[in-house]
Amino acid sequence: MPKDHGIGASSKRREDVRFLTGKGNYTADITLYGQTYAAFARSNVAHAKIKSIDTSAAEAMPGVLAVFTGADFADVGGNPAGWLIQSRNGETMKEPKRPVLAHGEVCHVGDAYAAVIAETVAQARNAVEALVVDFEELPAVVDMADAVADNSKRARTELTDNICFDWGWIEDNRAAVDAAFASAPHVTTLELVNNRLVPNAMEPRASIGVYDASTEDYKLYTTSQNPHLTRLLVAAFVMGIPEHKLNVIAPDVGGGFGSKIYHYGEEALVLAAAKRIGRPVKWVADRTESFLSDAHGRDHVTKIQLACEKDGTFLAVRTETLANVGAYLSNFSTATPTFLHGTLMAGPYKTPLVYVNVKAVFTNTAPVDAYRGAGRPEATYSLERVIDMAARELNLDPWEVRRKNLITTDMFPYTTPVALQYDTGNYQATLDKLIELSDKAGFEARAAESAKRGKMRGLGLSTWIEACGIAPSALVGALGARVGLFDAATVRVNPTGNISVMVGAHSHGQGHETVFAQVVSSMLGIPEANIDIVHGDTAKIPFGMGSYGSRSLAVCGTAMTKAVDKIIAKGKKIAAHMLEASEGDIEFADGKFSVAGTDKAKTFGEIAFSAYVPHNYPLETLEPGLEETAFYDPANFTYPAGAYSCEVEVDPDTGKVEIMAFTCADDFGNVMNPMIVNGQVHGGVAQGIGQALLENTSYDGNGQLVTASYMDYAMPRADDLPNYTVDHSCNTPCTHNPLGVKGCGEAGAIGSPPAVVNAVIDALARAGKPVKHIDMPLSPARVWAAMNA
């Protein structure tokens, strides 16, 4: 009998009531008294010197209240990269300034160089068109290989070359890895592209700036995954606003997938404009602006090599990657291709030697940063593709090659050659579960049936691992992070016993309001309906580092449980006084404080009431009230892992790939809400299938974004996707957080792309069309070209 409430129950998502009935409160839904509107002038060329901007005509247009250019922000700070990366030669990465508005030069198509504030959106846009800008076009750097090879064209005029950093992980391992390759019985080499993606959150970015001259308080409503981080960046780094004078509110947010982690210049602009004109200033991106100016994802070009024995035993892995960071360093852009990518290159395997080299490359394209999975999909894709290729070259079963090399349960905790320590897992169990659920045994019969219909059927898999709960401050600090990555929660018990929980995690679709309440409900034995989860407002929540890297429950959820523990501990003291027992004899279970071995008890509600109406209360030793805050900084990452398979049919006439089945066997540790976890996996796999088959971000040689609308950028739609089989029964609870949770938000997007591509390559091979590799997206045209090459 499945649970119907609390931890482990598939409680329905309470937030969906407002989302599905049109009652959500998104930034664009907010209208403030006296509100004005901002529109941005964006570069239509990839790279140019701004010789002049004549704003006079625009300023004279109807309804125009102010015009800003880069000169207005010349004296404020730049939007910084969150991680400082050291190159192999010991030099610190290059970090050219990322201004609020482009000043002196525009560096990608869509780069904002001016903004108009007007009474209406149309008036603001009309005035933007009346701006007269004189660009002197500069050569555009678009292709990464060219950018590295040719220093004469540079993405930023202040640079001497286009390489941001040249990072080795771990540099001390390099010689041993090279030696292993030199003597290896077999080496497989694969060059691949991890295709650039546009995040395409359903809600475009939007911001409203407010300034109160009487108190000098600023308020920013914005589409953010982490309002406190935005506050820190806007206040301390960019605008020089005292942090206590800036309230950042991220109300309902319609998807982020990483793209709303970061601070963008538009947020600073609306605040500065609100102060100048003394009225709220609102900006809502249109879809074209989203394509041109949201931080994109992925965009790696990688050469990966696997050295192994003839029996498939892995000896060493070596990679060389060019990672596009675009024209400006977005906040996580330097961490994503390094510490979220290189550290995962051991995968779930006991490969003894691994060396990763990543060159981050500036180009005249939009910034590239973390996108659902962030570095881990890139690592997983490279590794799972090269393993499949090696198995084919050695005439071995790719399933058994993986099994042979998986870390075994007796090896935990397992320290990888790329510096992570996996605390627990059971990779054989998820592989076995996958074999069962995917009906691998029945595949040949299904393939024969497909062949009768003239279709080529293939089966591919990936066995993946990721590092989630992005945190340990000491660790990330040692790796170059400029912030800590703990989290925080406050549990406020009201006098009548219901509860508000203020959490630092931010929900932009995940379902925190439901799941976090389930956890508190189970811990305190009170109904979920009596618990509200409050998030997304720096004035309401104690602190927080937001949601990304599948960290919400593992990090913030743990802070919340620690705060609940403090509530229980204080409740015991109150109960001991009321029940005239010693504190050590008080037990708490099912919402009751009782004296052990007796029937004397007080309910949670009675204790709460007593805390706020302390007539019979130990005031001399205990403060009244029942509210506790906890901060939590984990000891380690968490390590979700799993095994995915994809079964496809390929049409030999057209190259079209149809996904017939997709099966996921995941180990997320303990599962708080199975329905929501399934939903997270479904969404992640949808995005992974989108990357594998459909999504392709293409800049032409001049740096124009060719795929700047849905007419050319193919998003996955319902009929592109199969029914999924999702299982998370093979769970090994995380060893270092009390809930035993690992995180599930990104898994689907990490494990799925290689499974899809491996399946297509398998289908072609079985049909006698041996194709070594096809770069994503595996569009019909690409598959057809590959099999007819």
Query: Footprint of other proteins on this chain (CB under 8 A)?
Result: 122, 125-126, 129, 288, 653-654, 656, 693-694, 696, 698, 706-707, 710-715, 779-781, 784-785
The answer to whether the CB of 360 falls within 8 A of the CB of 164 is yes
Q: Output 454 or 624, the one with its CB closest to other proteins.
A: 454
Closest approach of other proteins to the CB of residue 126, in Å: 8
The answer to whether the CB of 660 falls within 8 A of the CB of 762 is no
Closest approach of other proteins to the CB of residue 362, in Å: 25
Neighbours of 590 (CB within 10 A): 11
CA dist., res. 335 & res. 319, Å (int) = 17
Cis before 413 (ω within 30): yes
Q: Output 284 or 308, the one with its CB closest to other proteins.
A: 284
Q: Give the β-pairing of 414-415 and 421-422.
A: antiparallel
Closest approach of other proteins to the CB of residue 238, in Å: 30
Q: Output 62 or 527, the one with its CB closest to other proteins.
A: 62
Closest approach of other proteins to the CB of residue 38, in Å: 17
116's enclosing H/E stretch is strand 112-118
Closest approach of other proteins to the CB of residue 193, in Å: 14
CA dist., res. 643 & res. 463, Å (int) = 4
Amino acid at 528: E
CA dist., res. 238 & res. 224, Å (int) = 17
CA dist., res. 300 & res. 382, Å (int) = 10
Whole-angstrom CA distances from 574 to 531, 567, 581, 605, 620 are: 21, 10, 10, 12, 12
Closest approach of other proteins to the CB of residue 288, in Å: 7
Q: Output 81 or 778, the one with its CB closest to other proteins.
A: 778
Q: Output 111 or 695, the one with its CB closest to other proteins.
A: 695
Closest approach of other proteins to the CB of residue 39, in Å: 11
Question: Residue 470: which of 669, 258, 344, 637 has the closest Cα?
Answer: 637
The answer to whether the CB of 384 falls within 8 A of the CB of 376 is no
Contacts of 725 (CB under 8 A, 6+ apart): 437, 438, 661, 662, 663, 664
Closest approach of other proteins to the CB of residue 285, in Å: 14
Both tokens of 364, joined, read: 């005249």
Q: Output 134 or 712, the one with its CB closest to other proteins.
A: 712
Q: How far apart are the first and last CA of the chain?
A: 55
Q: Output 126 or 522, the one with its CB closest to other proteins.
A: 126
Q: Output 125 or 174, the one with its CB closest to other proteins.
A: 125
Q: Output 126 or 382, the one with its CB closest to other proteins.
A: 126
Closest approach of other proteins to the CB of residue 259, in Å: 19
Neighbours of 10 (CB within 10 A): 18
CA dist., res. 621 & res. 529, Å (int) = 33
